[in-house]
Structure 1
Amino acid sequence: MLTSLAYIFLIGILVGSIFNKFRLPRLLGMILTGIIIGPYVFNILDGSILAISTDLRKLALIIILTRAGLALDFGDLKKVGRAAILMCFLPACFEILAMVMIAPKLLGISTLDAAIMGAVVAAVSPAVIVPRMLNLIEKKCGTDKSIPQLIMAGASVDDVFVIVLFTSFIGLAQGQKMSAMSFAQIPVSIIIGILAGIVLGGCLVLFFKRININDTMKVIILLSVSFLLVALEDKLKGIVPISGLIAIMSIGVALQKRDSKLAKSISIKFSELWIGAEVVLFVLVGATVDINYAISAGSAAVILIFIVLIFRMIGVYCCLIKSDLSIKERIFCMIAYTPKATVQAAIGAIPLSMGLPCGKIVLTVAVLSILVTAPLGAFFIDITYKKLLQ
């Protein structure tokens, strides 16, 4: 395992740096590193590290969502208002609807299989989006209209919404009935997650004020609480719906609201942690990519991804119709809401592992969506923000 970790860091950083010199997103180099050293090409990664890759990817996601929460001020989101709520679910609905309409004709699958595929593909990637939005906040690009905050918050809730839909569609494929209760879990899990995060964040602020410890210890405590929240979500599944990831982000928001100086010092530490977590996340995402699956899907799957992506961008535009954003700013939001990576890597293989007939094609399209949208989305965010944002 130690040798594999060395390969992940050294080769991932090297290839990422080479891509960065050519003005290409570093994450593209890291994903390609994962593909090359992963089990489907040279297979030099130890099986033990692949066995825990899901947990390592989740660890990286926890780090980036906590960092996002520490930088997110919900007061800023009030400026955007209605659009902030719509961005949490409307673009994903547009994308899933497009998949249900088009995938059966292009790929010859059933409507239910297309819905499962749509739920896998529809989630945006906080791991791609959040670091770039934090960078915009630091540079004060688009912050006068809270554009980076809008995209960060929407992307986080969007993932929760899509994962609940995915679970419901999988249940249907296994012969279960879809009930109104399963859809009611979406807002309930989000609300409980927010409340839990706010309460825990407030408690942590009081604890850190009374107990004199350094910032590194505070980060360790905060990470430990985040791990427990994710574990709690799994334990309470089917009993009490709670979104652990939303709770984690809400802790950061609560810390920022209660003590901005404390939040800033902790955020700096999390920024340093993200340097390593980013490499692990995207190299391991690349390692999940079966290049043979990707090639076998052919051009039809790639065309499908671009079509549903257009529908997603239309959904984003509809969210912003009554906002005070200019046309350029709306175009930027449409571009920034396209990258996929984390959720697709996490759930793309589930239908296949459950033995569903659509498993192979769902995984293929999930993999291709990562390969197409993660680098393109990151690249266009990086090259357009100066032209499109104030």
Structure 2
Amino acid sequence: MLTSFALIFVCGVIMKVIMEKLNLPGLIGYMLVGLVLGPQLLNVIDSSVLDMSADLRQVALVIILTRAGLSLDINTLKKVGRQSICLSFVPASFEILGVIIISTLLFSMNIAEAGVLGAVLAAVSPAVVVPRMLKLMKEGYGSDKGIPQMVMAGSSVDDIFVIVMFTAFTGIVQNGEFSLLSFLGVPVSIVLGILVGLLVGKVFAHVNKVMNLSGVYSVLFLISISFLLLQLQTQIEAWIPFSGLIAIMATGLGLRQNNIEVSTSCEHIYTKLWNAAEILLFVFVGCAVQFQSIESVGILALLVIAFGLVFRMVGVFISVFGNALDTKEKLFVGIAYMPKATVQAAIGAVPLSMGLPFGAEILAVAAIAILVTAPVGAVLIDNTYRKLLHKNA
């Protein structure tokens, strides 16, 4: 097991450096490491490590969502409140609709199966987007109108919305029947998650003042709280719709509002934790990909991804319609909502592990979506923000 982790981290770091020299996201290198070291080629990663992949993917999601929450300013969010709320579900809903339309035609899926694929594809990647929005905030691009904050907040909630929709669609496929309660529970789970998270963040901020915890111990507490929130969701979701993931992000936001010094210290540590978690997350995706499945979907996967992105762009423009953003700024928001990686890595293999129809094909399309949209989206964000956004005076 230890040898497997050593190979993953050493090869991952080397590939990250190579990818960055080529101006590509390091996550592409991590996936290639998984493909080469995994069962499809060299098969040198111990099976016990691969058995842990689902839990480690969950940890990676916890880290990136907490980091996003710790970076958000609620006063700025109030300025772009309507747009952030719309961006949290409208583009994803449009993309799911687009994927359902095209995949029922190309893959002969039924609507529920196509909905599972749509939910897998519809999330924007915080792994690609959040670090870049933080960079824009630091450099002062678009911050006067709250564009990086709006994108970061909207994309983080977008992921939660998509995960809830994914759960609803997989439930329909498994049970063979439509459950209206699953969809009605989406807004309830989001609102309840925000309220619980803000309360937990506020309580933790005050407890921290009394205990005077260092940054490292504060992070240990936060991570433990995050795991407990996920367990709370498991315990009560049969009776009360509740999103533990969105509560985790809101906890970071609540801590920032009540203890900025501690939240800043925690944010720095979470950034370092993400560097390790990101490697594991995307290497495991590479390990799970099956070459024969990618071969079977081929060009059809690209058509599904492109069709879904067109629908997503329409959803973005609807979300920011009627506000103070000019056309260039709206276009940038659309570009920022393009990359896919984190959620696809976290849930792309779930339909296959559940034994659902088209599970292998869904994983293959998810992997192709990461390989295509993550580098393209990252390059577009990095090369257009100076042209499309105004720098603060």
Interval of TM-score (by shorter of Structure 1 and Structure 2): over 0.9
Percent identity between matched residues is: 49
Q: TM-score when scaled to structure 1?
A: 0.95
Determine if contact 1:35/1:291 at 8 Å carries over to the other structure.
no
Q: Secondary structure at the match of 1:187?
A: helix
1:167-186 aligned at under 5 Å gives the runs: 167-186=167-186
* 1:149 has 2:149 as partner: yes
Equivalent residue, structure 1, for 2:231: 231
Structure 2: gaps spanning 5 or more residues: none
- The total of aligned residue pairs comes to 390
* 1:255 has 2:259 as partner: no
* 1:47 has 2:59 as partner: no
Determine if contact 1:285/1:342 at 8 Å carries over to the other structure.
no
Deviations 1:261-300 (Å, cap 9, x if unpaired)? 2211221222222222222222222222223311221211
Counterparts of 1:262 and 1:171, CA distance in 2: 40
Equivalent residue, structure 1, for 2:165: 165
Deviations 1:152-199 (Å, cap 9, x if unpaired)? 111122122222222222232234433332222111111111111111
* 1:98 has 2:98 as partner: yes
Question: Do the aligned partners of residues 211 and 287 (structure 1) sit closer, same or farther apart at CA in structure 2, a change above 3 Å counting?
Answer: same
Q: Which amino acid aligns with 1:375?
A: P
Q: Which amino acid aligns with 1:15?
A: M
Counterparts of 1:358 and 1:294, CA distance in 2: 12
1:79-98 aligned at under 5 Å gives the runs: 79-98=79-98
* 1:361 has 2:393 as partner: no
Determine if contact 1:124/1:158 at 8 Å carries over to the other structure.
yes
Q: Secondary structure at the match of 2:312?
A: helix
> RMSD of the TM alignment (CA)?
1.7
Q: Which amino acid aligns with 1:306?
A: A
1:133-148 aligned at under 5 Å gives the runs: 133-148=133-148
Question: Do the aligned partners of residues 357 and 208 (structure 1) sit closer, same or farther apart at CA in structure 2, a change above 3 Å counting?
Answer: closer
Counterparts of 1:9 and 1:261, CA distance in 2: 32
Counterparts of 2:358 and 2:83, CA distance in 1: 35
Q: Which amino acid aligns with 1:350?
A: V
Q: Which amino acid aligns with 1:190?
A: I
Determine if contact 1:80/1:323 at 8 Å carries over to the other structure.
no
Q: TM-score when scaled to structure 2?
A: 0.94
Deviations 1:360-390 (Å, cap 9, x if unpaired)? 3222222222222122222222222222222
* TM-fit CA distance, 1:63: 1.4
1:13-32 aligned at under 5 Å gives the runs: 13-32=13-32
Determine if contact 1:70/1:256 at 8 Å carries over to the other structure.
yes
Q: Which amino acid aligns with 2:195?
A: L
* 1:339 has 2:339 as partner: yes
* TM-fit CA distance, 1:137: 1.9
Equivalent residue, structure 1, for 2:304: 304
Structure 1: gaps spanning 5 or more residues: none
Determine if contact 1:64/1:131 at 8 Å carries over to the other structure.
no
* TM-fit CA distance, 1:69: 0.8
Q: Which amino acid aligns with 2:260?
A: S
Question: Do the aligned partners of residues 368 and 263 (structure 1) sit closer, same or farther apart at CA in structure 2, a change above 3 Å counting?
Answer: same
Q: Secondary structure at the match of 2:325?
A: coil
